[in-house]
Amino acid sequence: MLKLIRNKSLKNLNTFGVEAKAKNYYELNSDIDIFDFLSDMDSITKPVYFLGGGANTLFTTNYKGTVVKINMQGITLMSQDDDSYYVEVNAGVKWDDFISFCVENKYYGAENLVAIPGTVGAAPIQNIGAYGVEAKDIIYKVYYYEIDTFIFKQRDAKSCNFGYRNSIFKNELKDKVIITKVLFKLSKTPEFKLEYGRINEELQAKGIKEPSISNIAQTISEIRASKLPDVNEIGNAGSFFKNPIISNEKLNSLKKDFPNIVSYPISDNEVKLAAGWLIDNAGLKGYQIGGAAVHQNQALVLINKDNATGQEVLTLAEYIQKEIMQIYGVELFAEVVFV
């Protein structure tokens, strides 16, 4: 039977560690819990916010509706063929626990996504990515319940409309489904991607000429730890802003004033700018509003430096967006969801 908790503190359920309370709160630990919850949907206080690991959520105030924590656990090898393993992971599993499972069992393809906070159920929504790999590269199917109909459905990766930090679950299906599990397709053969960032450089510094999956995962974890603050030590949500995509024409114009601007080609006509470079070059590292600040070592990360409120983090984010637009004529969009 579902347990309703009233005026639930959400401070320990979001990686920013900001204080906020939910008027009503439920945890869903099984498909039965989901069905019971959906069956009572008419009587549930609205609005409803579905929460995973809280790594991509900023509570800016107390939530006047119902917060629902997706907490189903379990990782299962469902099948395999000559080339691949098919691994089913429930939505409440911590993302990094899933990556550790892949590394330990030598299921290749996920290792570059190590040390990302959050849960598996949130990964397809955001199409999380790091070091040249995105969740879409290993997702085979996504399973979910339609909230209005109670119907259990599945969707293959192609029909999820994955894009850069985007998917059908952020658009057409936003607030209409509950993701319960994801089926991943992992390779039996290593095809390591080592060109992004400092991966190759760090492996060479360690004298590793033929890296293993565990070498790569460990090295990327160390690189991330050197750049990003540990959410267990200081509140943050990792990269706060998306890297903006602009035209080659716009890039050439920017290079006249900012010849060292960092960009990555993504098509014949467009490039992706490094949002962290834009913020750093604008002189905003360490900038603080109330208890919220831009991280001193990584400008793309906003931190809860001194018991910040969610509103202070939001105010800081909006200030950065305004400055970046004024300096570069480029719009920054947040990866983090404001609630």
Q: What is the largest CA-CA distance in the chain?
A: 64
Residue ranges of E strands in the chain: 5-9, 21-28, 48-51, 57-58, 63-70, 75-80, 84-90, 129-130, 133-134, 139-146, 152-156, 177-187, 235-239, 245-247, 263-265, 270-273, 288-289, 292-294, 301-304, 337-338
- What is the Cα–Cα distance from 79 to 87, expressed in whole angstroms? 7
- What is the Cα–Cα distance from 61 to 12, expressed in whole angstroms? 15
Q: Give the number of C-alpha atoms closer than 13 A to the C-alpha of residue 151, restricted to the C-beta side.
A: 6
**Residue 159 is a catalytic residue:** no
Catalytic residue among 19, 146, 270, 335: 335
Q: Which residue has the tokens 């959400």?
A: 10
**Residue 165 is a catalytic residue:** yes
Listed as own residue / partner, the contacts of 74-82 with beta carbons closer than 8 Å and 24 or more positions apart are 75/101, 78/183, 80/188, 82/188
Q: Which residue has the tokens 């070592």?
A: 297
- What is the Cα–Cα distance from 84 to 74, expressed in whole angstroms? 20
Q: Which residue has the tokens 């995973």?
A: 52
> How crowded is residue 234: how many other Cβ atoms within 10 Å of its Cβ?
16
- What is the Cα–Cα distance from 299 to 281, expressed in whole angstroms? 9
Prior bond to 47 cis, omega within 30?
Answer: yes
Catalytic residue among 165, 167, 202, 312: 165
Amino acid at 308: A
Catalytic residue among 84, 167, 239, 263: 239
User: What helix, strand, coil percent values describe the chain, rounded to 5?
Assistant: 30, 30, 40
> Which residues does residue 76 pair with via DSSP β-bridges, in sequence order?
88
Supply the residues annotated as catalytic: 165, 239, 335
